[in-house]
Amino acid sequence: MSCLQSTINLGRVLVVDDNVAARESVADVLRHAGYFVVGSASAVEALPKLERETFDVVVTDLQMPGMDGVEFIRQISQRRLEVQVLMVTAHATIASAVEAMRLGAFDYLEKPFNVAQLEELVAGAIQRGRLLAPDLTTQKARISIAAEYDLGMVAESQVMQNLRARIAQVAPTEETVLICGESGTGKELVARAIHALSRRNGGPLVSLNCPSLSPQLAESELFGHRRGAFTGADDDRVGRFELADQGTILLDEITEVDLPLQAKLLRVLQEKTFERVGCSETRTADVRIVASTNRQLSEEISAGRFRQDLYYRLAVVPLILPPLRERGDDVHLLADYFLARAAKRLNKPACQFQQDVRRLFSAYHWPGNVRELENIITRACVLNDGQPISADELRPWLQQPDDIATIENDASLPVGTSLEEVERQMIVATLEHYDGHRAKTAEALGIGVRTLSGKLRSYGFAPRAKSIQQTDACHRQSQPVEPAIPAELPGKKSA
């Protein structure tokens, strides 16, 4: 009973599809994710269920006999049923999906879609429904709910507390936000939090993964096209900016957009207008733009790959996400969180870590950040046979296991040695392991280079002028500043 209750608390979903295989496939995915799921073979069958029972989300197919998905959503709206709706549609019926969103649907899934897309949209729909609940009208309540359901930032480090505070400041405004950070740090999660805490949370959050677009199709995907505009344009298509009307659009990895399209994006930012491909009619876009990048924008601008004027327009409010290696003990909180979530999703008993796993996680530099940590723990949970997970099991999956400093029992540390002395010996030993390379030492220890340099000075090590200058530059770059081209924004490290 307790297990069932916890699942119901996570969210109740009604899946509506006349195709039995498709319906059960979606239902199985959501059940494994922890939702309570009920299926219906038609919209006519589903409406009485929605009136009798409470559901958080409806996932409905568009093409169904008797009553199609658009009419189904119209009936939900007319009957004032408090439920969020996700539409499942094929490319050829995208116009119907747009109509569904205008009738109140939260978002749509275009076939074929993957498990991650489905889970993310269902979670977002549940979060939106709770934000719009009648008894949650104050900003304080919205912040509390968003922190619980959407921010989802499992963290206690000061740098993440600062980030949370900055998100709470930025989100209620209408300003454009540029989210910078390495791959896997959670840029999309931050974008969703900004939308959830904004005044636009009643509108859609539309995401566009820029690297997945070819230059030929990117403009059509952003702004839409008119039938016959190019080979293969068999129908009119609504672009992401129109879909995001009254809401927020996330341009994920914005640096992957080619230069001609950057110029058109600049116009949208400046004038809030655009044209569909093959059409001269000017359209308006009441959209808040959030962009993200994992690249160093100063390098992209210098190389001529990114427009400087577009950067200034995007970086009205820059948010910088720290890599996992700079978040200290957050790695252990996240590891426990992912372990429990994976076990629940797989319907397995809770797994346990051996103590050497904690040491391994602290020493590893996590180039893939939180995404890498989650993938490794999920894999370990899938393959676990009931025994505690050891470091030896995980080490072969790490990208550079030979560079990880291991901690051995040292007879020279008698019982009663102070923590300060233990820390000093660990830092010195790690520095020697990396032949005096301070950046690698700091990564292995999970601290910043500046913190490491300060500790080494307190131990009597002479500072390296060059290292200190480089560290100061990085530190200055990480502070909130007025929009300007930074010396180096966090992103992919240069070779």
Q: Tell me: the pLDDT tens digits for 454-469? A: 788 777 775 544 333 3
Q: In sequence order, what are the beta bridge partners of 36?
A: 12
Q: Are 14 and 46 in contact (CB under 8 A)?
A: yes
CA angle 263, 267, 272 (to 5 degrees): 150
pLDDT lower than 50: segments of the chain: 1-9, 92, 134-151, 401-403, 405-411, 464-495
- What is the per-residue pLDDT for 133? 56
The alpha carbon of 474 is separated from its chain's Cα centroid by a whole number of angstroms, namely 25
* Strand partners for 476: none
CATH code given to domain 329-403 = 1.10.8.60
Q: What is the pLDDT of residue 131?
A: 62
pLDDT at position 386, please? 85
DSSP 156: -
Q: Measure the CA–CA gap between 35 and 86, rounded to whole angstroms.
A: 15
CATH 1.10.10.60 fits 419-478, yes or no: yes
Provide the pLDDT for residue 142: 43
Task: Write the CATH number of the domain with boundaries 2-131.
Answer: 3.40.50.2300
Interval 247-296: pLDDT, tens: 999 999 999 898 988 998 998 888 888 888 888 888 888 899 999 999 99
Domains 139-320 and 419-478 share a fold: no
* Domain segments of the chain as ranges: 2-131, 139-320, 329-403, 419-478
What token pair was written down for 127? 């979060």
Q: How many other CB atoms sit within 10 Å of the CB of residue 182? A: 23
Q: Are 224 and 278 in contact (CB under 8 A)?
A: no
DSSP per-residue codes, 316-384: TEEEEPPPGGGSTTHHHHHHHHHHHHHHHHTT-PPP-B-HHHHHHHHH---TTHHHHHHHHHHHHHHH-
Sequence-distant (6+) residues with CB within 8 A of 142 are: 131, 136, 196, 197, 201
Q: 139-320 belongs to which homologous superfamily?
A: P-loop containing nucleotide triphosphate hydrolases (3.40.50.300)
Both structure tokens of 73 = 């959503």
The interaxial angle of helices 449-458 and 419-433, nearest 10 deg, is 110
Do 97 and 68 contact (CB within 8 A), yes or no?
no
- What's the pLDDT score for residue 467? 37
User: Residue 452: what pLDDT?
Assistant: 84
- Candidates 185, 236, 238, 187; CA nearest to 210 is 187
Q: pLDDT > 70: what percent of the chain?
A: 81
Q: Give the distance from CA 49 to its chain's centroid.
A: 33
